[in-house]
Structure 1
Amino acid sequence: MKFNDFTFPHPVLGIGDAIRGITGFVNNPQITVLEDRYKILIECNLTNDDLNKILQEGNAEFLCEATCSNTVYRENTISDNARIEFEVPKKQVKGKVEFICLLVAKKNLLNYSNADAHPDYSGFTFDLDKGDILVFFGEFNFDADIKYEKLKAVSSFMEVVGRDDIEYTNIDLKKSKIEVQLPTNEYNIYRGDIIAQEMKFAPIFHASFVLNALLTALYNFEDNKDYLWAKALKYRLDNEDQFKNINIQDKDNIPEIAQRLLGNPFGRLLNGLNVIVESTENEE
């Protein structure tokens, strides 16, 4: 839903330039993953004097509507202050869960006007009913299919498979996970007990085909942003402090973004090789 595209018969802060004032969220909404539910924390930002007065008089309240079209889940949470906290049961949602945050009239408001309203509303007052919208703070969503608690694991967004019909490694971005496709012979070597079960080789994999596959994915991110792997990576880019000042829209940043996502794969590669060399020398 694009709530900002709606029009109202009365001025609503946050919709176009109907009312001057700052609105939105103090920080990014927080989503905490618990065993059987998601905990949501939202802090709304409101600086309009007339609306703050209505709120202080007990004539308005904060509302967050959570919906999931895949399961027909819908729940409204009401709060008397700008901090809204609630929980969403995991079993009731699947796929995209959407949230809209508003300030609404708690009771009928007669002759409502706002000193900071656009000049088009000058001289007009409005009789508002209980539940009418006063402020649109914003909307956000998350994907319940993403295992947020495991996002830093490469396996959360990438997997390696074998294919009989290819001669060289292929990267398939049209799946829920980035798929590194190896020719069957190479895949059998990769999955063999000697390599697959040896943790010392993990940094080598990350600095080689895992990094190459991730670079390919990031350079083609916009064309594949609806796939689950892209949503998982976007969540990390939007919520981790290490990505605050680095924009994926600038292609020059992509090599650094990829290395940050993988936890400095080249540094770990060199340290890993050093461990292998030292262990070999000790065995001799």
Structure 2
Amino acid sequence: MAPSISYPHPVLGNADDVGSGKIEPEVSFTASEELVEIILDKLRTGNETLDTMLGDGRATWSIRVQCARTYFRAEYQTSNSAHRVRLAGHELEGRVEIEVMLFATVPLSAYLPAGAHQDYGGDTFDLKVGEVLGIGPTFTFNVDKQWDPLKAPVASIMRISKGEHPKGPFIVALEDNYIELLLSHEDWDQYAGVKERVPGIIHSALVLPALAEAVPRISEYAGKIWADRLRAISEHRGIDTTKPLQAAQILLQDPLARTFREINTELDRDS
């Protein structure tokens, strides 16, 4: 649902300005190293006035594509019910946003679309070229050409490093493209001795709490590699991210049970 904005004339998709029709295109994409293709279909309004204007050229769709990671931003126009945008593979990476809006291409006299809210009282409007006629939803998707969310390990979004503090709790840093766990100098030395022997302990003691902290902040850090990948993994696996601790355990495939098995194995060896 598009946000409600105060326009001086009725705009489809803006609150209840226009009660007839809606803008709900279908958007999909394919991506490779060489090419990213965005496919839009069902570019129509269901509003008699606006669809007629699209048909005779008095209105056009504006398709805005932007990507924060690559600083790409472009606008494409079409009056057709379907449209394809083809871009070089390097143009888009990470979170991509697509906005779909409808604009007037010619000056309009006595404009009043079918289904205009009764508060307009039958008043008509004179509009200039480029005036907004309709607002669609904003679509987002993640372009990650060499990564499969169905097979992705947590290692694809997380790094464990030596921090600057000599001792004390580890720090979870979310500001960069990867979740970074910064261990104290003292803990780093101990970590090096156990990470290969009992990785389950690392998952339970470090990765699990870090993920539980990161999961509820996915939207806040949208555009970062870790946030976009974590969102995709969760969506593909149907994980409920409103319960961060449970979500983290599912993402790690029951780390507590794995830790218990590893500890028991080590204890059996020593006995």
Q: TM-score, normalised by structure 1?
A: 0.68
Partner of 1:242: 238
Secondary structure, counterpart of 1:77 in structure 2: strand
Secondary structure, counterpart of 1:240 in structure 2: helix
Q: Distance in 1 between matches of 2:154 and 2:90?
A: 26
Query: Residue 226 of structure 1: CA displacement?
Result: 6.1
Partner of 1:257: 247
Partner of 2:33: 35
Q: Provide closer, same or farther for how the CA distance between residues 113 and 175 of structure 1 changes in structure 2, counting only shifts above 3 A.
A: closer
Secondary structure, counterpart of 2:171 in structure 1: strand
Task: Give the letter aligned to residue 160 of structure 1.
Answer: I
Query: Residue 19 of structure 1: CA displacement?
Result: 1.0
Partner of 1:175: 175
Query: Residue 129 of structure 1: CA displacement?
Result: 4.6
Pick from 222, 228, 233 the counterpart of residue 232 of structure 1.
228
Identity over aligned pairs, percent: 23
Query: Residue 160 of structure 1: CA displacement?
Result: 0.5
Q: Distance in 2 between matches of 1:7 and 1:169?
A: 50
Q: Provide closer, same or farther for how the CA distance between residues 74 and 270 of structure 1 changes in structure 2, counting only shifts above 3 A.
A: closer
Q: Distance in 2 between matches of 1:57 and 1:237?
A: 44
The answer (yes or no) to whether the contact 1:211–1:259 under 8 Å persists in 2 is yes
Q: Distance in 1 between matches of 2:71 and 2:195?
A: 46
Q: Provide closer, same or farther for how the CA distance between residues 13 and 93 of structure 1 changes in structure 2, counting only shifts above 3 A.
A: same
The answer (yes or no) to whether the contact 2:37–2:85 under 8 Å persists in 1 is yes
The answer (yes or no) to whether the contact 1:65–1:74 under 8 Å persists in 2 is yes
RMSD: 4.3
- 1:233-282 deviations in whole A, cap 9, x for unaligned? 56427853614xx352xxxx2233223433x23488389859x96xx99x
Partner of 1:209: 206
The answer (yes or no) to whether the contact 2:218–2:231 under 8 Å persists in 1 is no
Query: Residue 22 of structure 1: CA displacement?
Result: 5.2
Q: Distance in 2 between matches of 1:124 and 1:39?
A: 43
Secondary structure, counterpart of 1:46 in structure 2: coil
Q: Provide closer, same or farther for how the CA distance between residues 180 and 256 of structure 1 changes in structure 2, counting only shifts above 3 A.
A: same
Secondary structure, counterpart of 2:50 in structure 1: helix
Partner of 1:64: 63
1:269 equivalent to 2:248? Answer no
Between structures 1 and 2, the one with greater helix share: 1
Q: Distance in 2 between matches of 1:74 and 1:164?
A: 38
- 1:33-88 deviations in whole A, cap 9, x for unaligned? 32144333344573333323433455433220224578764422233444443134
Secondary structure, counterpart of 1:160 in structure 2: strand
Task: Give the letter aligned to residue 117 of structure 2.
Answer: H
